A = this chain, B = another copy of it.
Amino acid sequence: MVDKEKFKEKIVLASSKIFSRYGFRKTTMEEIAAALRKGKSSIYYYFNSKEEIFEAVIDYEAQVLKNELAKVIKSTDDPERILRRYVKVRMNSFEKLSNYYNAIFNRDLDHFEFIEKQREKYDRMEIALIRYVLWRGVRSGHFNLKNTGLAALAVQTALKGIELPLFWQKRSYGIDARLDATIDILFYGIVRK
């Protein structure tokens, strides 16, 4: 029973890779089982359905992302640099945790209820994080904002706007530079002159 949980994690890890390569639809239980050197039916001893595995994968990736972002936030750097790093980590993590990313942004998966929940959860978390950064920025005099809650919402909306066109086109060189440029635009309306 201790081992059972451990093996569930193994399944999540393996499935994460396969899902991220082929997507939910094209990934088969047989493949997941084969990756773990088990029979297909054995997998059902640990999870009740493919969907449940996917859900666990999303949860896992969300956790990873949250940890990465939290680490950035904790830094004692100045708020502007933190926000900058926050955006970059967010983008890079999404690249890795592509299932979570697709869950949040892909319309193909709309029919899963837990996806919608996850989206809301993600939004709330992100807004809270951003708000915290902004709040610290205001307190230290780096940022110039009246209502950090509202501002956090606005920043997140802007980030989402940057994000999509960035992912639809080829992930080529110079992505960091472009990211910086876009963040700059965001900043110069925020940073105290």
**Interface positions of A (Cβ within 8 A of B):** 22, 26
Contacts and interface: CB of A to CB of B under 8 A. Distances in A.
A26 B18 CA distance: 13
Q: Which 3 pairs show the lowest CB-CB distances between chains A and B? A: A26-B26, A22-B26, A22-B22
Contacts of A22: 22, 26
A95 to B, nearest CB: 16
A73 to B, nearest CB: 31
A43 B100 CA distance: 34
A22 B26 CA distance: 9
3 contacts: A22-B22, A22-B26, A26-B26
A67 to B, nearest CB: 24
